[in-house]
Structure 1
């Protein structure tokens, strides 16, 4: 009853398109949802419609929704609970990452004896296979500069690991550390995917995967389907073949994850092969001004655009690269130094950055979880417990000198050594440069706005958004964007996060730009980094 009442209250606010997409009787459907059109709401409604359908009241199989990030699944889970009540997610119904589904499928193949894990008889003598699947190998040891890598392969049904050497040195966990761990039943989500991809080439494994999906699921909602790679698409098609009702949700303009192997160009073929109809959501509720609505229409139409550059009171600054956010100036506080690579020194600096972002912006640093994993810190409350120590490091940074940076780094090493057994290296420009970057924010008068890359900003919206563009990106925007270009899609996502206005900001050292125009204005709120780091009471 609780779910029904919540649903009845929410349904009155939906457009005709949203109602049709949520409640369509089509077994398989693609919901094309642009920015601000209510993608999450419709996905949540669609989940509830399947979950509480009267004709499936006695069907024990699960309704499952999947996405590609924990943040996306968290947001969808909260929306489902708000609209349909907590009963909507009573087991076996759930909202998880697609990696969770992949892990379940691999476990099933191992339990069925269709695949064999090395040392399986010793690991699981009773046949109850339970792999320890990690996000990355960083939780088991730090990265070093090495050529040592490994490759997984199936020889018949048996899994084999082969140690190899890459052409170039890179910071990675060496295969010499990884292979013994795999013999203990430890692996990563990437390993799971690699094994499943090979297993699908075996007819009996492919048949079992399809059978398992049909046995476990009666409906599957796939969020952000344009971020799917070939394996994801193969699993989706196996579910369709098993008779599972599949709802695909996404927007071709917001496909960003080519670096993870996403293949957005094959989604039209997936729809055509399976006779899946498209239901578009065309009305955006995000645009609060004619200026922003016109910008969004022109971007999608491929019309050349020049963003305004007059200063405004921005809520966030977005760039395609973390480096560009640090170059904008002290008015922007990026939520990461760069994409996380797994080093201990990098992890320590990330915990310090998290202390700043939490107190100034009330936001976690982007790679906080990765940093804790790299330092093998199991207690998630450690960052909060270390706040006084981190604040002392910040105070050491304040003088704004190279000596202050070195002293702060040594102090940070001591703080981390109190909670982690990892060994951090001696001061070196490669390790202290992150603190030097953070120091530049210590001397800025006022509280900065958060800085995010396009990938982290996807799914978010703010009132006024600043966008930092490189010359090539600005040129592409001026010439008109096309949905088939990865760079263009990133620019599109960055430019469609604002409700009211999108403006361009420039690097503080940009030639021909005055300092006043180059640096974005500080948000007019209380809280200054150097003086006590007052926690924000609102936040973007």
Structure 2
């Protein structure tokens, strides 16, 4: 393993780097492995490395191919490189996803390798899987079955498996199958056959793009030589997430060369179910014994308190990945301690989380800098309802992407038609765009009707994006604005909403917020019940939890509930991942000494008050207090705001809003009796 020094930074691409980042940037050409923990500046580091290689004359910009896993990440990489002056018009560095790079290469090399045989991209497997399933006598009315079959085919192909290898691999890896392995393999085989036309023409799915490009590069030396003379230096981001067929393609690109920089964090391996594996990252220095290995562990994202909890979470990891874990070192000033909150039921948890969100917003935290994260998307619905009733804007990440929504598709079609055909109205470009969108629903004032209003709000956001583009590039005419908007659409840049983000933990990877709420942290949800069959599955769930923790910059709130709904027994227990993490005693979880039974007068009075208060505020009663919470208060019979705040699930935020009223209700329910004396009786 090469050991190199730390030359002093003297401006340019090396300015403002810490010693480890500088080491990675200045490493010589050849194999370089950067183990980059969450928040350690990996994108900054790898783009500076590319810029250094170009500026120092070690490589021409057009000979660099940088690949990552999302169009958003590729776009960010291009923007960073452009800001460093090493990419842009006439000086282009290719930064693409694996699939985008393979598609471009396949379109160029296919005629050379395949002659007159033609191919088209099959963008979605669903319809083809449905067709062959129907021919095999399966229930094609079960759309979930068809989706699951398509997912299994995708996993198998990403793992480099054919139909004949599928069944055994599925059993060995404990796949959660939609049908017996033999049936899935049969559908897989029929699917592959259906993509080939009688004349030899083919439909290629996204996995085929990679495998056919790999096959062509390996089977035709002249094509391989042409490609390798073009691209000489490779950079792979998120290397812990590569699949076997992506690694095969990377090997074909390299052709035995070693001018390769990889960046990744095995602790953030959370996509094994799609075929991704950290093996290639973990084995990098074995494959390249002379590789430069750099560890980025200085966390610039999160406070030391959040970093300490993240280290504690991943410190419990088991297995091979645990042996390569990075221990983050917080670089930010100190902040609040993470908050742990247990609730009697899910409704109480949702209400408690929304109350805390409201409190943070009141203290100045922007709603757009707050995220509620959960394990599965179905958990979002309760938060959507509660946030709506609280008057707090929100956005659901992972829903239909902005540019795929019907009203936006219609608006884009209108704009591109005008840009390509008739001249736009004779007015300023932004005004011309606004005028063009009138015909698809962008009226001057908000219309009536839920559907019309939803369309108007989406088109208004499209208009805001146009205005933002025009502000950044005032020289653009109408056609230029539309072209830039189309580019934004292709790159799938979702608009940044102004509300609280609701997201699954998987969809939150790569993002960060000032305040993060990790919810539903009970057994069966974290780790997910069906993902607890093997140690490997549990460890991936632990890494997913770690990813959630490391999304928080300053405020971190972790919560769970002991039952699904009001009146149900406490059948749950908090997640095993929280063991030894929850403070003992924790202020949020330390209830008052409880009576054996609730005081019947207090119970009746609080129940009646809750109903009246909810009606006066126009909200549902459960968003005031749950039934189990009323029983807890009537059992503890608190005598002060501080005591009330300690009732399980109630919390300081709720006490601040309605605490005084509840104490008044208790006083009125106990005439002539001191609450303190009542609370002390058993």
Task: Pick the TM interval, shorter chain.
Answer: 0.5 to 0.7
Structure 2 residue corresponding to 1:297, chosen from 305, 311, 315: 311
Match of 2:413 in 1: 379
Match of 1:316 in 2: 371
Give, in whole Å, the separation in 1 of the partners of 2:413 and 2:441: 14
Matching of residue 225 in structure 1 with residue 239 in structure 2: yes
TM-score (norm 1): 0.61
Q: Residues 200-219 of structure 1: matches in 2 within 5 Å?
A: 204-205=219-220, 207=221, 210-219=224-233
Give, in whole Å, the separation in 1 of the partners of 2:271 and 2:403: 20
* CA separation of 1:230 and 1:372: change in aligned 2, threshold 3 A: farther
Task: Look at both structures and tell me which one has the larger radius of gyration over its CA atoms.
Answer: 2
Give, in whole Å, the separation in 1 of the partners of 2:234 and 2:549: 31
Give, in whole Å, the separation in 2 of the partners of 1:381 and 1:9: 41
> Equivalent residue of 1:330, what SS?
helix
Q: Is there any run of 5+ residues in structure 2 with no aligned partner, and where?
A: 1-8, 136-149, 155-181, 319-336, 342-351, 361-366, 417-432, 460-497, 568-621, 625-648, 655-682
Give, in whole Å, the separation in 1 of the partners of 2:527 and 2:404: 33
Give, in whole Å, the separation in 2 of the partners of 1:322 and 1:520: 29
| 8 Å contact kept, 2:266–2:278 | yes
Give, in whole Å, the separation in 1 of the partners of 2:544 and 2:184: 30
Q: Residues 437-476 of structure 1: matches in 2 within 5 Å?
A: 449-469=500-520, 471-472=522-523, 476=527
**Per-residue deviation at 1:18?**
0.5
Match of 1:27 in 2: 30
1:448-475 Cα offsets, whole Å, 9 max, x none, are 5121122321111111101123533666
**Per-residue deviation at 1:81?**
1.8
* CA separation of 1:521 and 1:326: change in aligned 2, threshold 3 A: farther
| 8 Å contact kept, 2:216–2:223 | no
Q: Residues 86-235 of structure 1: matches in 2 within 5 Å?
A: 87=87, 90-113=90-113, 115=114, 118=117, 120=118, 133=121, 135-136=123-124, 147=133, 187-196=204-213, 204-205=219-220, 207=221, 210-235=224-249
Match of 1:69 in 2: 70
| 8 Å contact kept, 2:61–2:87 | no
> Equivalent residue of 1:456, what SS?
coil
Match of 1:502 in 2: 556
Matching of residue 54 in structure 1 with residue 108 in structure 2: no
Give, in whole Å, the separation in 2 of the partners of 1:295 and 1:521: 23
**Per-residue deviation at 1:284?**
0.5
Structure 1 residue corresponding to 2:296, chosen from 264, 267, 281: 281
TM-score (norm 2): 0.50
Structure 2 residue corresponding to 1:367, chosen from 401, 413, 417: 401
TM-align CA RMSD:
5.2
Give, in whole Å, the separation in 1 of the partners of 2:374 and 2:198: 38
Give, in whole Å, the separation in 1 of the partners of 2:565 and 2:259: 56
Higher helix proportion, which one?
A: 2
Give, in whole Å, the separation in 1 of the partners of 2:183 and 2:560: 39
Match of 2:385 in 1: 330
| 8 Å contact kept, 1:225–1:249 | yes
Match of 1:486 in 2: 540
Deviates more, 1:34-43 or 1:269-278: 269-278
> Greater relative contact order (Cα 8 A, min sep 6): structure 1 or 2?
1
* CA separation of 1:169 and 1:54: change in aligned 2, threshold 3 A: closer
Match of 2:282 in 1: 268
| 8 Å contact kept, 1:62–1:92 | no
| 8 Å contact kept, 1:458–1:493 | yes
1:481-500 Cα offsets, whole Å, 9 max, x none, are 98983222222111210011
Q: Is there any run of 5+ residues in structure 1 with no aligned partner, and where?
A: 1-5, 121-130, 153-164, 334-356, 398-407, 417-446, 523-540
Give, in whole Å, the separation in 1 of the partners of 2:251 and 2:446: 55
Match of 1:437 in 2: none
| 8 Å contact kept, 1:467–1:503 | yes
